[in-house]
Amino acid sequence: MELTIFLKVLLGAGLGAAIGFEREISHKVAGLRTHALVCLASALLAAISIDGFKQYAGLVNYDPSRIVSNIIVGIGFIGAGAILRQEGKVQGTTTAASLWAVAAIGITVGLGFYKDALLVTGTVFLVLRSLWVIEHKLRKRMKLKEDEYNR
């Protein structure tokens, strides 16, 4: 493996782990390892889609965006597994969305947009960590129970 690709994979793992850490301390079904793995795999596949086929330039017609689009499709299956419905209540949609977000972060790293990946990671972390407070206050103000609010 080329050093550049390996470093992209390491950065992807670290950024995914940061989001996974938040999910872990919130006691969600997909945590540190899952988010790190999704992000690093997305970074690897995106990096390979750009760098891995350079040696075949002119010999093979390829479209790097096809790999990226299929990463997003594949994450849909993992995200669907994170969503549960029990007793009329749907749970796991935020975790599914965070998995989708770390896949996008991994793609961003794999394509070489490092600053953007760092900024988005921070934004996702802030959304996950702080918006629930606003959500809770709104629910209280509207006098809604948890299940009524999530419909």
Q: What is the pLDDT of residues 84-102, one digit of tens each?
A: 777 777 788 899 999 999 9
Which residue range(s) make up the domain with 19?
3-149
Number of domains in the chain: 1
Q: Is the pLDDT of residue 62 over 90?
A: no
pLDDT of 54 reads 76
* Structure tokens belonging to residue 51: 């760098």
Average the pLDDT over each of 7-11, 21-25, 86-90 and give the range with the smallest value.
86-90
pLDDT of 146 reads 60
